[in-house]
Amino acid sequence: MKFFRLLALITLTVCFTNCTIKERVVFNEDGSGNYLMSYDMGEFMKQMKSQMGGGDSSEEKEGKVMDTTIVFKDIMETYKDSVAALPEDKRMAMEAVKDMYMTMTMDEAKSAFDFGIGLDFKSITELTNIQEKIEKVRSLNAQNDQVDAMKGSPLGKFMGEDSYDCSYEYTENGFSRSTILPEDWNTEALKFDENDETDKEFMTYFENAYYVIEYTFPKKIKRYSVENAKLSNNDKTIIYKVSWLDFLKDPKLLDVNLTFTDE
């Protein structure tokens, strides 16, 4: 299936690239909203173009342009025979994420490449175990064994862990995001050795990678617990970021507590 070949390419690309990851949530008045985890791989596109000798010509060739949305529920219906023939673990993964979707935009001439995994939710409770669902999407590709193998390589500790989750609480007065780490979380295993040549090389490669948070609410934000955060959209949107390397060491750096103004 073309869908699974595309997913495999995206998953492997994410594992190798120093992309910026953005977690965006937009809340509506009634508590419903949209969650989107997006991966900006424009820098990866630029590096690939440079390595392949592109970008030196004064005349830029017209490259491939793509803007598409893939809804898992539609995929399961359109390719139901193929889905039925999948191994049980992949069929179960498809069932678990059937209410989610993927977006992909690409413009080769502009070295732009972005894809996301999203969910339209009716209540914040639907965001429970959202990280686990995202991992299920990524597990659908046929090269998942290669990804697992990479996690056991020197690159592994720079790829991020999939054993944590997040808890979200949204009330009339405020909002909070809390990272839930497993009891056996090993902080020492995630430390980087600046005297190790391999670690130094990967640290340089990922030094421009970030994890960005962007939350938008129907109410104005009065106070927030994160340093260096910025408010926009008439103080209804909060944006902050953490370097990928710092995030790997401590995922709780993304946590936030905020309160709304009384209106």
Report residue 40's pLDDT band, with 50, 70 and 90 as the boundaries: confident
Comparing 42 with 241, the larger pLDDT belongs to: 241
d(CA 227, CA 59): 44
What residues contact 159, with CB distance under 8 A and at least 6 apart?
15, 150, 151
Residue 134 or residue 42, greater confidence: 134
DSSP state string for the chain = -HHHHHHHHHHHHHHHS-PEEEEEEEE-TTS-EEEEEEEE-HHHHHHHHHHTTTT-SSSPPP--EEEEEEEHHHHHHHTHHHHHTS-HHHHHHHHHTTTEEEEEEEEGGGTEEEEEEEEEESSGGGGTTHHHHHHHHHHTSTTHHHHHHHHTSTTGGGS--SS-EEEEEE-SSEEEEEEE--TT--SGGG---TTSHHHHHHHHHTTT-EEEEEEE-SS-EEEES-TT-EEETTTTEEEEEEEHHHHHH-GGGG-EEEEEPP-
CA distance 237 to 249: 27
Question: What integer pLDDT is reported at residue 58 of this predicted model?
Answer: 44
Using one digit for the tens of pLDDT, what is the confidence trace for 166-192? Answer: 899 999 999 999 998 888 776 655 666
Q: How confident is the model at residue 49 (pLDDT cuts 50, 70, 90)?
A: low
Type of residue found at 161: E
The answer to whether 247 touches 211, Cβ cutoff 8 Å, is: yes
pTM equals: 0.79
Q: Considering only residues 194 and 235, tell me which one the structure prediction assigns the higher pLDDT.
A: 235
Distances (CA, A) of 57 to 18, 44, 149, 259, 262: 25, 19, 39, 52, 57
The β-bridge relationship of strands 210-216 and 237-243 is antiparallel
Average pLDDT, stretch 91-117? Answer: 84
Stretch among 42-51, 111-120, 197-206 having the lowest mean pLDDT = 42-51
Mean pLDDT of 58-68: 67
Radius of gyration of the chain (CA): 20
pLDDT given at position 111: 72
Instruction: Identify which of 237, 245, 254, 238 has the alpha carbon closest to the alpha carbon of residue 179.
Output: 254
Domain residue ranges of the chain, discontinuous segments joined by +: 2-9+21-260
Q: What is the mean pLDDT of residues 34-62?
A: 64
